[in-house]
Chains A and B, each alone.
Chain A
Amino acid sequence: MSAPVLVWLHGDSLSTEDPAVRRYPSAPRVFVFDEPWLRGVRPSFKRLFFLFEGAVDAGAQIRLGDPATEVLSAMEEAGAARLAVTRSPAPRFDEWMEALHGRVDLEVVEPEPWIRIPDAFPLRRFTPFWKKLGAEWS
Protein backbone atom coordinates (compact mmCIF):
# COMPACT_ATOMS: atom_id res chain seq x y z
CA MET A 1 0.00 0.00 0.00
CA SER A 2 1.42 3.39 -0.98
CA ALA A 3 2.10 6.13 1.57
CA PRO A 4 -0.71 8.65 2.19
CA VAL A 5 -0.15 11.73 0.08
CA LEU A 6 -0.99 15.41 0.50
CA VAL A 7 -1.21 17.50 -2.67
CA TRP A 8 -0.01 21.09 -2.41
CA LEU A 9 -1.73 23.48 -4.80
CA HIS A 10 -0.14 26.86 -5.46
CA GLY A 11 -1.09 29.95 -7.43
CA ASP A 12 0.40 28.74 -10.71
CA SER A 13 -1.67 25.55 -10.81
CA LEU A 14 -4.85 25.98 -8.85
CA SER A 15 -7.28 23.49 -10.29
CA THR A 16 -8.70 20.02 -10.11
CA GLU A 17 -6.77 19.46 -13.34
CA ASP A 18 -3.47 20.23 -11.60
CA PRO A 19 -0.99 17.48 -12.60
CA ALA A 20 -0.32 16.49 -8.97
CA VAL A 21 -4.07 16.26 -8.31
CA ARG A 22 -4.49 14.15 -11.43
CA ARG A 23 -1.78 11.81 -10.18
CA TYR A 24 -3.35 11.57 -6.72
CA PRO A 25 -7.02 12.39 -7.30
CA SER A 26 -8.23 11.09 -3.96
CA ALA A 27 -5.51 12.73 -1.85
CA PRO A 28 -6.34 15.71 0.36
CA ARG A 29 -5.24 19.11 -0.99
CA VAL A 30 -3.90 22.23 0.62
CA PHE A 31 -3.43 25.81 -0.57
CA VAL A 32 -1.42 28.30 1.48
CA PHE A 33 -1.64 32.07 1.34
CA ASP A 34 2.03 33.03 1.59
CA GLU A 35 1.70 35.48 4.45
CA PRO A 36 5.29 36.82 4.64
CA TRP A 37 5.26 37.51 0.90
CA LEU A 38 1.78 39.01 0.90
CA ARG A 39 2.65 41.37 3.74
CA GLY A 40 5.50 42.68 1.60
CA VAL A 41 3.71 42.94 -1.75
CA ARG A 42 0.19 43.68 -0.52
CA PRO A 43 -1.77 42.88 -3.69
CA SER A 44 -5.36 43.99 -4.03
CA PHE A 45 -7.91 41.98 -2.09
CA LYS A 46 -9.59 41.16 -5.39
CA ARG A 47 -6.58 39.11 -6.38
CA LEU A 48 -6.61 37.22 -3.09
CA PHE A 49 -10.32 36.51 -3.26
CA PHE A 50 -9.95 35.23 -6.82
CA LEU A 51 -7.31 32.78 -5.56
CA PHE A 52 -9.48 31.87 -2.61
CA GLU A 53 -12.35 30.98 -4.94
CA GLY A 54 -9.94 28.93 -7.01
CA ALA A 55 -8.74 27.02 -3.95
CA VAL A 56 -12.32 26.36 -2.81
CA ASP A 57 -13.25 25.18 -6.30
CA ALA A 58 -10.22 22.85 -6.29
CA GLY A 59 -11.32 21.30 -2.99
CA ALA A 60 -8.28 22.48 -1.05
CA GLN A 61 -7.92 23.21 2.62
CA ILE A 62 -6.87 26.87 2.85
CA ARG A 63 -4.19 28.06 5.24
CA LEU A 64 -2.29 31.28 5.94
CA GLY A 65 1.36 31.49 6.94
CA ASP A 66 4.79 30.46 5.74
CA PRO A 67 4.09 27.91 2.98
CA ALA A 68 6.80 25.42 3.91
CA THR A 69 5.77 25.47 7.56
CA GLU A 70 2.08 25.25 6.75
CA VAL A 71 2.35 22.29 4.38
CA LEU A 72 4.32 20.40 7.02
CA SER A 73 1.56 21.09 9.53
CA ALA A 74 -1.08 20.10 6.99
CA MET A 75 0.75 16.85 6.31
CA GLU A 76 0.86 16.05 9.99
CA GLU A 77 -2.85 16.78 10.41
CA ALA A 78 -3.71 14.67 7.36
CA GLY A 79 -1.41 11.84 8.40
CA ALA A 80 0.37 12.16 5.06
CA ALA A 81 3.82 10.71 4.52
CA ARG A 82 4.44 12.23 1.10
CA LEU A 83 3.93 15.68 -0.41
CA ALA A 84 3.13 16.04 -4.11
CA VAL A 85 3.32 19.41 -5.85
CA THR A 86 3.40 20.58 -9.47
CA ARG A 87 6.54 22.42 -10.55
CA SER A 88 6.40 26.20 -11.02
CA PRO A 89 8.96 28.41 -12.77
CA ALA A 90 8.75 30.94 -9.91
CA PRO A 91 11.97 31.46 -7.92
CA ARG A 92 9.90 31.20 -4.72
CA PHE A 93 8.99 27.66 -5.68
CA ASP A 94 12.69 26.67 -5.68
CA GLU A 95 13.10 28.33 -2.29
CA TRP A 96 10.16 26.34 -0.89
CA MET A 97 11.63 23.12 -2.26
CA GLU A 98 14.93 23.94 -0.63
CA ALA A 99 13.22 24.64 2.68
CA LEU A 100 11.47 21.26 2.53
CA HIS A 101 14.43 19.29 1.22
CA GLY A 102 15.30 16.44 3.56
CA ARG A 103 12.35 17.17 5.84
CA VAL A 104 9.65 15.44 3.84
CA ASP A 105 9.15 12.81 1.16
CA LEU A 106 8.67 15.26 -1.69
CA GLU A 107 7.40 14.51 -5.18
CA VAL A 108 7.60 17.34 -7.74
CA VAL A 109 5.26 16.61 -10.63
CA GLU A 110 6.29 18.01 -13.99
CA PRO A 111 3.45 19.74 -15.85
CA GLU A 112 2.82 18.70 -19.43
CA PRO A 113 3.40 21.93 -21.37
CA TRP A 114 1.28 22.93 -24.35
CA ILE A 115 4.51 23.73 -26.21
CA ARG A 116 7.83 22.45 -24.92
CA ILE A 117 10.86 24.76 -25.13
CA PRO A 118 14.11 22.81 -25.64
CA ASP A 119 16.78 23.76 -23.10
CA ALA A 120 19.13 24.94 -25.83
CA PHE A 121 16.55 27.07 -27.64
CA PRO A 122 17.53 30.76 -27.50
CA LEU A 123 14.71 32.87 -26.08
CA ARG A 124 15.31 36.42 -27.25
CA ARG A 125 12.36 37.66 -29.28
CA PHE A 126 8.86 36.26 -29.62
CA THR A 127 8.63 36.16 -33.43
CA PRO A 128 11.47 33.68 -34.06
CA PHE A 129 10.37 31.67 -31.02
CA TRP A 130 6.83 31.34 -32.30
CA LYS A 131 7.85 30.74 -35.90
CA LYS A 132 9.90 27.74 -34.82
CA LEU A 133 8.07 26.27 -31.82
CA GLY A 134 4.54 27.43 -32.62
CA ALA A 135 4.59 26.18 -36.21
CA GLU A 136 1.70 23.78 -35.60
CA TRP A 137 -0.42 26.71 -34.44
CA SER A 138 0.66 29.32 -36.97
Chain B
Amino acid sequence: MAQWLADRLVGCYAEDRSGAKAAPVQGGREAGLSVLRGFSVVGYATRRNFVPGDLTTVSRLSPYLRHGMLGLAEVAEAVRAEVGRTADAVKFWAELGWRVFWRGLFARLGRSVYSDLEPAKVPLGSGTMPPEVERGETGLVCMDETVRELVATGYIHYHARMWFASYLVHHRKVSWREGERFFYRHLLDGDPASNALSWQWVASTFSSKPYFFNRENVEKYTAGRWCARCQARCPFDGSYSALETRLFGGKL
Protein backbone atom coordinates (compact mmCIF):
# COMPACT_ATOMS: atom_id res chain seq x y z
CA MET B 1 0.00 0.00 0.00
CA ALA B 2 2.91 2.35 0.75
CA GLN B 3 4.26 1.87 -2.77
CA TRP B 4 0.85 2.55 -4.25
CA LEU B 5 0.56 5.82 -2.34
CA ALA B 6 4.16 6.79 -3.09
CA ASP B 7 3.41 6.51 -6.81
CA ARG B 8 0.43 8.80 -6.50
CA LEU B 9 2.14 11.41 -4.33
CA VAL B 10 5.37 11.74 -6.32
CA GLY B 11 6.69 15.28 -5.90
CA CYS B 12 4.90 15.74 -2.59
CA TYR B 13 7.43 14.18 -0.21
CA ALA B 14 11.06 14.59 0.75
CA GLU B 15 12.53 11.21 -0.13
CA ASP B 16 13.35 9.73 -3.48
CA ARG B 17 10.63 7.41 -4.72
CA SER B 18 12.74 4.40 -3.69
CA GLY B 19 13.14 5.76 -0.16
CA ALA B 20 9.42 6.30 0.43
CA LYS B 21 8.50 3.89 3.22
CA ALA B 22 5.80 3.64 5.86
CA ALA B 23 6.57 4.70 9.42
CA PRO B 24 7.07 1.91 11.96
CA VAL B 25 3.90 3.00 13.75
CA GLN B 26 0.49 2.80 12.18
CA GLY B 27 -1.79 5.81 11.76
CA GLY B 28 -5.48 5.97 12.58
CA ARG B 29 -7.74 6.03 15.59
CA GLU B 30 -7.82 2.28 16.08
CA ALA B 31 -4.02 2.16 16.19
CA GLY B 32 -4.00 5.13 18.55
CA LEU B 33 -6.46 3.43 20.89
CA SER B 34 -4.23 0.38 20.91
CA VAL B 35 -1.23 2.52 21.95
CA LEU B 36 -3.36 4.18 24.61
CA ARG B 37 -4.50 0.83 26.01
CA GLY B 38 -0.87 -0.27 26.21
CA PHE B 39 0.28 2.84 28.06
CA SER B 40 0.64 3.01 31.82
CA VAL B 41 1.38 6.34 33.44
CA VAL B 42 2.92 4.67 36.50
CA GLY B 43 6.48 5.99 36.89
CA TYR B 44 5.94 8.78 34.35
CA ALA B 45 7.06 11.64 36.60
CA THR B 46 10.41 10.08 37.42
CA ARG B 47 11.25 8.17 34.24
CA ARG B 48 9.92 10.32 31.40
CA ASN B 49 13.23 12.18 31.07
CA PHE B 50 15.12 9.01 30.18
CA VAL B 51 15.67 8.57 26.47
CA PRO B 52 16.29 4.83 25.85
CA GLY B 53 13.11 2.94 25.07
CA ASP B 54 13.68 0.37 27.82
CA LEU B 55 14.15 3.04 30.50
CA THR B 56 11.54 5.65 29.66
CA THR B 57 7.82 5.93 30.33
CA VAL B 58 6.76 8.27 27.51
CA SER B 59 3.40 7.46 25.99
CA ARG B 60 4.18 7.64 22.23
CA LEU B 61 0.67 9.07 21.80
CA SER B 62 1.80 12.38 20.30
CA PRO B 63 1.25 11.55 16.59
CA TYR B 64 -2.32 10.49 17.35
CA LEU B 65 -3.02 13.58 19.45
CA ARG B 66 -1.47 15.84 16.83
CA HIS B 67 -3.84 14.65 14.12
CA GLY B 68 -6.98 14.35 16.20
CA MET B 69 -6.98 10.57 15.99
CA LEU B 70 -7.19 10.66 19.77
CA GLY B 71 -8.61 13.51 21.84
CA LEU B 72 -6.88 15.21 24.77
CA ALA B 73 -9.93 14.73 26.99
CA GLU B 74 -10.20 11.00 26.42
CA VAL B 75 -6.48 10.49 27.01
CA ALA B 76 -6.59 12.57 30.20
CA GLU B 77 -9.60 10.59 31.41
CA ALA B 78 -7.96 7.27 30.56
CA VAL B 79 -5.06 8.20 32.83
CA ARG B 80 -7.44 9.29 35.57
CA ALA B 81 -9.24 5.96 35.27
CA GLU B 82 -5.93 4.11 35.57
CA VAL B 83 -4.41 5.79 38.62
CA GLY B 84 -6.57 8.69 39.78
CA ARG B 85 -4.75 11.88 40.79
CA THR B 86 -1.15 10.83 41.40
CA ALA B 87 2.11 12.69 40.84
CA ASP B 88 2.56 10.68 37.64
CA ALA B 89 -0.90 11.63 36.39
CA VAL B 90 -0.46 15.31 37.24
CA LYS B 91 2.84 15.42 35.33
CA PHE B 92 1.29 13.69 32.34
CA TRP B 93 -1.73 16.02 32.33
CA ALA B 94 0.61 19.01 32.34
CA GLU B 95 2.21 17.64 29.17
CA LEU B 96 -1.24 17.44 27.61
CA GLY B 97 -1.73 21.00 28.84
CA TRP B 98 1.21 22.13 26.72
CA ARG B 99 -0.77 21.02 23.67
CA VAL B 100 -3.69 23.21 24.71
CA PHE B 101 -1.26 26.08 25.24
CA TRP B 102 0.39 25.70 21.83
CA ARG B 103 -2.95 25.32 20.07
CA GLY B 104 -4.29 28.43 21.80
CA LEU B 105 -1.24 30.39 20.75
CA PHE B 106 -1.55 29.17 17.18
CA ALA B 107 -5.15 30.34 17.01
CA ARG B 108 -4.04 33.79 18.13
CA LEU B 109 -0.70 34.15 16.39
CA GLY B 110 -1.17 32.22 13.15
CA ARG B 111 1.96 32.35 11.01
CA SER B 112 3.63 34.69 13.49
CA VAL B 113 4.78 31.55 15.28
CA TYR B 114 7.47 31.46 12.59
CA SER B 115 8.88 34.84 13.64
CA ASP B 116 10.75 35.68 16.84
CA LEU B 117 8.08 36.34 19.44
CA GLU B 118 10.49 38.15 21.75
CA PRO B 119 14.00 39.58 21.47
CA ALA B 120 16.56 36.82 21.94
CA LYS B 121 18.23 36.83 25.36
CA VAL B 122 21.57 35.74 23.85
CA PRO B 123 23.19 36.32 20.46
CA LEU B 124 21.74 33.90 17.91
CA GLY B 125 23.15 32.86 14.57
CA SER B 126 21.51 32.84 11.18
CA GLY B 127 23.35 29.89 9.69
CA THR B 128 21.83 27.26 7.45
CA MET B 129 21.60 23.57 8.31
CA PRO B 130 25.10 22.04 8.07
CA PRO B 131 24.94 19.05 5.69
CA GLU B 132 26.81 16.77 8.07
CA VAL B 133 24.27 17.49 10.81
CA GLU B 134 21.33 16.72 8.52
CA ARG B 135 23.01 13.49 7.40
CA GLY B 136 23.78 12.48 11.00
CA GLU B 137 27.52 12.52 10.37
CA THR B 138 28.88 14.92 12.97
CA GLY B 139 30.71 12.18 14.88
CA LEU B 140 28.75 13.12 18.02
CA VAL B 141 26.81 9.96 18.77
CA CYS B 142 24.08 11.79 20.70
CA MET B 143 23.35 14.07 17.74
CA ASP B 144 23.84 11.50 14.99
CA GLU B 145 21.63 8.92 16.70
CA THR B 146 18.93 11.56 17.12
CA VAL B 147 18.97 12.36 13.42
CA ARG B 148 19.10 8.70 12.44
CA GLU B 149 16.07 7.86 14.56
CA LEU B 150 14.15 10.92 13.40
CA VAL B 151 14.63 10.16 9.73
CA ALA B 152 14.11 6.41 10.11
CA THR B 153 11.06 6.47 12.37
CA GLY B 154 9.53 9.95 12.43
CA TYR B 155 9.93 10.03 16.20
CA ILE B 156 12.48 11.13 18.77
CA HIS B 157 12.21 11.42 22.53
CA TYR B 158 11.48 14.94 23.74
CA HIS B 159 14.74 15.17 25.68
CA ALA B 160 16.76 14.32 22.56
CA ARG B 161 14.77 16.96 20.66
CA MET B 162 15.84 19.58 23.19
CA TRP B 163 19.49 18.52 23.09
CA PHE B 164 19.55 18.56 19.30
CA ALA B 165 17.81 21.95 19.10
CA SER B 166 20.22 23.44 21.62
CA TYR B 167 23.22 22.02 19.77
CA LEU B 168 22.03 23.38 16.44
CA VAL B 169 21.05 26.84 17.68
CA HIS B 170 23.64 27.58 20.36
CA HIS B 171 26.68 25.53 19.37
CA ARG B 172 26.37 25.63 15.58
CA LYS B 173 24.66 29.04 15.45
CA VAL B 174 22.08 27.83 12.96
CA SER B 175 18.80 29.73 12.64
CA TRP B 176 16.08 28.06 14.69
CA ARG B 177 13.86 28.22 11.60
CA GLU B 178 16.18 25.74 9.87
CA GLY B 179 15.85 23.27 12.71
CA GLU B 180 12.13 23.86 12.90
CA ARG B 181 11.72 22.95 9.23
CA PHE B 182 13.92 19.87 9.62
CA PHE B 183 11.87 18.54 12.52
CA TYR B 184 8.56 19.43 10.89
CA ARG B 185 9.51 17.55 7.76
CA HIS B 186 10.10 14.33 9.65
CA LEU B 187 8.16 14.21 12.92
CA LEU B 188 4.94 12.22 12.79
CA ASP B 189 3.70 14.52 15.54
CA GLY B 190 4.98 17.62 13.74
CA ASP B 191 2.66 20.45 14.70
CA PRO B 192 3.27 23.99 13.44
CA ALA B 193 2.81 25.76 16.76
CA SER B 194 4.26 23.13 19.08
CA ASN B 195 7.31 22.68 16.90
CA ALA B 196 8.06 26.31 16.09
CA LEU B 197 7.43 27.57 19.60
CA SER B 198 9.48 24.80 21.17
CA TRP B 199 12.40 25.82 18.95
CA GLN B 200 11.81 29.41 20.05
CA TRP B 201 11.78 28.24 23.67
CA VAL B 202 15.23 26.69 23.21
CA ALA B 203 16.54 29.71 21.29
CA SER B 204 15.23 32.15 23.94
CA THR B 205 12.84 34.06 21.69
CA PHE B 206 9.93 32.57 23.63
CA SER B 207 11.56 32.05 27.03
CA SER B 208 13.44 34.05 29.59
CA LYS B 209 16.75 32.27 28.89
CA PRO B 210 18.22 29.86 26.35
CA TYR B 211 18.08 26.11 26.93
CA PHE B 212 21.45 24.38 27.04
CA PHE B 213 22.74 21.17 28.53
CA ASN B 214 25.96 19.41 29.40
CA ARG B 215 27.45 15.97 28.92
CA GLU B 216 26.53 14.92 32.44
CA ASN B 217 22.88 15.48 31.57
CA VAL B 218 23.15 13.36 28.42
CA GLU B 219 24.98 10.59 30.27
CA LYS B 220 22.42 10.54 33.07
CA TYR B 221 19.36 10.33 30.85
CA THR B 222 20.80 7.87 28.35
CA ALA B 223 22.41 5.67 31.01
CA GLY B 224 25.73 6.58 29.41
CA ARG B 225 25.01 4.47 26.32
CA TRP B 226 25.71 7.11 23.68
CA CYS B 227 28.76 8.62 25.37
CA ALA B 228 30.31 5.17 25.89
CA ARG B 229 30.74 4.70 22.15
CA CYS B 230 31.45 8.33 21.20
CA GLN B 231 34.97 9.09 19.97
CA ALA B 232 34.42 12.80 19.31
CA ARG B 233 35.78 15.67 21.33
CA CYS B 234 32.67 16.47 23.34
CA PRO B 235 31.45 20.08 23.02
CA PHE B 236 29.05 19.49 25.92
CA ASP B 237 31.68 18.48 28.46
CA GLY B 238 31.90 20.93 31.36
CA SER B 239 29.93 22.60 34.09
CA TYR B 240 26.91 24.75 33.24
CA SER B 241 28.89 27.77 34.32
CA ALA B 242 31.74 26.93 31.94
CA LEU B 243 29.31 26.25 29.09
CA GLU B 244 27.57 29.56 29.71
CA THR B 245 30.85 31.35 29.25
CA ARG B 246 31.80 29.28 26.22
CA LEU B 247 28.45 29.65 24.45
CA PHE B 248 27.23 33.04 25.55
CA GLY B 249 30.29 34.87 26.77
CA GLY B 250 29.40 34.93 30.43
CA LYS B 251 26.82 34.20 33.09
CA LEU B 252 23.23 34.66 31.95
Contacts and interface: CB of A to CB of B under 8 A. Distances in A.
Contacts of B103: 89
A49 B106 CA distance: 25
Given A15-B29, A44-B13, A130 B154 contact: no
Interface in A70-115: 86, 89-91, 112-115
A50 B96 contact: no
B192 A14 contact: no
A33 B12 contact: yes
Interface of A: 11-18, 33, 35, 38-39, 41-54, 56-58, 64, 86, 89-91, 112-115, 117, 123, 126, 129-130, 133-134, 137-138
B243 interface: no
Nearest to B90: A138
B128 to A, nearest CB: 17
Interface string B193-209: 10000000000000000
Contacts of A123: 101, 104-105, 108
Given A17-B71, A44-B154, A114-B72, A89 B107 contact: yes
B154 A47 contact: yes
Contacts of A35: 12
28 contacts: A12-B68, A15-B69, A17-B29, A35-B12, A42-B13, A45-B2, A45-B19, A45-B20, A46-B188, A47-B188, A48-B13, A49-B5, A50-B25, A56-B28, A57-B31, A58-B29, A89-B104, A91-B110, A113-B72, A114-B73, A123-B101, A126-B98, A129-B101, A129-B104, A130-B94, A130-B97, A130-B101, A137-B96
B108 A48 contact: no
B68 A64 contact: no
> Which one of A38, A53, A134 has the greatest number of beta carbons of chain B within 10 Å?
A53
Contact of A90 (B20, B93, B192): B192
A91 B97 contact: no
Interface residues of B, number: 59
Given A12-B68, A130-B101, A137-B96, 11 more contacts: A35-B12, A50-B25, A57-B30, A57-B69, A64-B9, A89-B106, A90-B192, A114-B72, A114-B73, A123-B105, A134-B100
Interface in B18-39: 19-23, 25-31
Contacts of A53: 26-28, 31
Contacts of B30: 57
B194 to A, nearest CB: 12
Given A12-B68, A14-B67, A134 B94 contact: yes
A133 B96 CA distance: 12
Given A43-B185, A43-B190, A137-B93, A14 B68 contact: yes
A18 B8 CA distance: 26
A15 B32 CA distance: 10
A115 B100 contact: yes
